[in-house]
Amino acid sequence: MSSTEDGEDNSYVEQRRFQRVKQRFKDRSKKVAQTKEKTKEILSKQAGLIAKRAEEHESFITKVTHFLGVFAYGAFCFILGARPQDVRHIYVLFYITFVPLRWIYYRYKKWHYYLLDFCYYANTIFLVMLLFFPRSQKLFMVTFSFAEGPLAWALIVWRCSLVFSSVDKLVSVLIHLLPGVVFFTMCWWDPVFFEAMHPEGIAQVNVLRQQRLLKDPELMTSYRGLSKKAQKANNVWWRLSGRFGDQNRMFMYILLQAIFTVATMALTVPIFLSYELHLIFQILKVSAAVWNGGQFLVEVMPRQVVLKEKKKLEVAPPVEEIPHQD
């Protein structure tokens, strides 16, 4: 009897111990979840404050951005000619500086789902290759096909604009342009490297996050942004995506993106094999971005300024007239 009772006592003690350990893990996981939520809330608030202050001093920031943008462009061109082997280091510095800042700004504007677009995945993979696997031939070819395929052609097809007075537009252009420029220098202007080497986020954003997107129409995604742009222009992409009705637009968008990705990646083969073709392609990309930037400055920016001034006048309190005294 005593041995049976001892066995029962031991099992009870073990059970109690297990329950305590289990409860401890639960408490810790709750604390971690709470800390995560608090951190997320603090970061969101800080993002909002930074973006709000930036909007308050928009005119001054625009002038400073234009000055720094032109200066940086000249410096980059100098480095490209004088020390092409260092261009990759500039790209790494650009990525680790401006992508986190873009997340802060986009979080405030409710555009952060843009950061799940293919171009950010491609840039991240490219960064990983540069930092950790610079001699991996397979990874090199994959990232090359991304950089000079979908990324490069998106710059042309979606009319990215090189506008020195807009940080957002500058970063958008550089995210699509810089990887290809870095590859060009690595393939043709870096002898050491040359000797050694010679639909992604759409489903996640629009399907897995569908409930949240339906609840908040202000949340902007790549699909929403591009379809809105295409609808406004009533271009060929809008007509093609609506070929089978509005209810199938997202499916058509995914299909068109897949075809676009495969087709542009196929075009990277002759570019990789020919210095002349690769050089012409770099000139084409920069020319397209500069041309689109000129169109933006002449046609779009004046309208935006007028609209902003109208909004300011609507929000501003009416000025009381002081009667003239003789």
Q: Are 161 and 293 in contact (CB under 8 A)?
A: yes
Q: Does residue 244 form part of some domain? A: yes
Q: Could you tell me which of 113, 242, 88 has the C-alpha nearest to residue 180? A: 88
DSSP state of 117: S
Q: Which residue has the tokens 């639960």?
A: 26
Q: Does residue 318 form part of some domain? A: no
**Structural domains counted in the chain:** 1
pLDDT digit string, tens, across residues 272-314: 888 889 999 999 998 988 898 888 888 888 887 778 777 767 7
- The model scores a pTM over 0.95: no
pLDDT digit string, tens, across residues 93-126: 999 998 888 888 777 777 767 777 888 889 999 9
Quickly list H helices, 118-244. 118-132, 137-146, 152-157, 167-188, 191-197, 202-203, 210-215, 222-233, 236-241
pLDDT digit string, tens, across residues 37-84: 777 777 767 766 766 676 667 778 888 888 888 888 889 889 888 888
Check residue 66 and give its pLDDT.
85
Q: Does residue 32 form part of some domain? A: no
Q: Does residue 82 form part of some domain? A: yes
Q: Does residue 274 form part of some domain? A: yes
Q: Could you give the CA distance from residue 21 to residue 228 in angstroms, rounded to a whole number?
A: 53
The whole-chain average pLDDT of the chain stands at: 75
Q: Does residue 29 form part of some domain? A: no
Q: Could you give the CA distance from residue 185 to residue 193 in angstroms, rounded to a whole number?
A: 10
Domain that holds residue 262: 37-295
Q: Does residue 31 form part of some domain? A: no
Q: Are 176 and 160 in contact (CB under 8 A)?
A: yes
Q: Does residue 284 form part of some domain? A: yes
